[in-house]
Amino acid sequence: EADIYQTPRYLVIGTGKKITLECSQTMGHDKMYWYQQDPGMELHLIHYSYGVNSTEKGDLSSESTVSRIRTEHFPLTLESARPSHTSQYLCASSEAAGGYQETQYFGPGTRLLVL
Amino acid sequence: GENVEQHPSTLSVQEGDSAVIKCTYSDSASNYFPWYKQELGKRPQLIIDIRSNVGEKKDQRIAVTLNKTAKHFSLHITETQPEDSAVYFCARTDGLTFGKGTHLIIQP
């Protein structure tokens, strides 16, 4: 079944550690996104991509990096985790349909706790 | 970039009553207007969307209306039920910005 997957689902880590959050989609979508969201609160865009070898910065991009080497894979790396990074991270994807925005499909999220 | 302003931030209605959530945008070129629902502990999911060539779209108890002149689009939920309790988000046409969300509470 076509879906979008995130691993790990939960992560507890110490300050200063480097972490990579994985996101994969089997929907064949070109566009992918990373958001940070505290429970029930606003979605903040971290990074996005229009396709392979394309990466763009969102509002919260300064402390993280992404790569898009394959269409289906869009990992997010925090170089040095801090307690302020404690949050939920949501990955999403959508088609890039001739300039028209399409529905975004979200993954289940990764809940990160930095001690 | 252009943002979307969403109101209200919290809405409490009696079960069976109607709920309306509104988003205002500023970019005249906007042509796609989606609404997402996020239940507690779950991922956001699209519930309804509309494109700029129509003024209203309905799907059972939910509807979206678009006023291009006033640059706003609204989510309407009729005959509200307990399962409608959630956070609802509108989004900018390019999908890069979401409204701040509306917590909809259905009172029994």
- List of residues 6+ apart from A48 with CB closer than 8 A: A31, A32, A33, A34, A55, A56, A58, B96
pLDDT of residue B69: 92
In the block, tokens 């989510």 appear at: B75
Maximum mean pLDDT: which of A62-66, B73-77, B92-96: B73-77
Mutation target vs A (from B96, B100, B103, B104; most A CBs, 10 A cutoff):
B96
- Tell me the pLDDT tens digit for each residue of A82-113: 999 999 999 999 987 666 677 899 999 999 99
Interface of B with A (CB under 8 A): 31-32, 34, 36, 38, 40-41, 43-46, 49, 51, 87, 89, 91, 93-98, 100-101, 103
- Tell me the pLDDT tens digit for each residue of A10-36: 999 999 999 999 999 999 999 999 999
pLDDT of residue A35: 96
A45:B97 CB<8 A: yes
pLDDT of residue A98: 61
B44:A33 CB<8 A: no
pLDDT of residue A99: 61
B44 vs A31, A58, A106: nearest CB: A106
pLDDT of residue A87: 97
Q: What is the DSSP string of B4-49?
A: EEEE-SEEEEETTS-EEEEEEE--TT--EEEEEEE-TTS--EEEEE
